[in-house]
Amino acid sequence: MSDIIGIIDTGRAGNTFSIKQCINLAGGKWIDVLDANALDSVDKIVLPGVGAFHDAMHELATHGLVEALQQQIKRKPTLGICLGMQIMARIGFEHGKTEGLNIFDAEVKPMLCEGKVPHMGFNKIQLVEENKILKGVEDELFYFMHSYELVNYTDIASLTTYNSHQFVSAIAKGDIFGVQFHPEKSRDAGVQIFKNFIDY
C-alpha cells in the first residue's frame, strides 16, 4: 500500500485542486487535512499555498495546526510549495511581521529586483545540492508566481536567476523540502517532482 499524503488546508490555497490532480497523475494517494487529528493518519505532508504569509499562518492557527505541524513535519517527509515553503521559515514580513512554523532558519522578505514583480512564468533552477525531490528535473523549466522570497543560507537546494537577481528556489533539510515554484503548474517536470516525493 502506498503512503497517504496529507494536503494541509492553508485557507486560500488556490493551487490545491491542481496539486491533487498532479498527485493523481504521479500515482499517489492523498487526503485533505483540516485539523490536527487528521495529521496522525498521513505518512507524508504537502503544504500548498497561494496568498499571504500572515493569512496562511492565521488559518493554520484557527484550525489548531501550528504546533501539530511543527511536531509532525520533523517526523514525516514534507513538501512545501510556494507559500507553503515560505511559511516553514522562522518569520515572514508580508503584511507585517508574522512568526512562521520555524522549521527552517529563514526569513521571507519582499523580492527586490530590477524585473517586474511578481516574478511570473517559467524559469530554470540551478542545483546547489543534490536531493531526491529534484532528481531528473535539473534541466527542466518550472512555473513561478511570487512577490516574496525566502532568504536562507544553510539549506539551499537550488537557486534561480530573474533579471540578474538570484533567489532561493528550493530548500532541503533531512526529509523536509520546499520549492518556490509550482510543480502542479509545471507540466511533466512537476509530475516528476511529485513522483519523486511519492517514492521518497
Q: Is the peptide bond before 118 cis (omega within 30 degrees of 0)?
A: yes
- 74 secondary structure, DSSP code: T
Q: Is 184 an annotated catalytic residue?
A: yes
Instruction: Report which of 147, 137, 148, 150 is spatially closest to residue 186, judged by C-alpha positions.
Output: 137
Q: Is 94 left (phi over 0), alpha (psi -120 to 50) or beta?
A: beta
β-pairing, 104-110 vs 89-92, is parallel
Question: CA 138, CA 111: separation in Å to the nearest integer?
Answer: 24
| 8, 22, 90, 105, 185 from 16: Cα distances, Å | 9, 10, 24, 26, 11
Q: Is 146 a catalytic residue?
A: no
Is 58 an annotated catalytic residue?
no
Catalytic residue of the set 22, 59, 82, 149: 82
The residues with which 162 forms a beta bridge, in sequence order, are 165
Instruction: Pinpoint the alpha helices (H) of 63-199.
Output: 66-72, 83-86, 187-199
| Residues carrying an active site annotation | 82, 182, 184
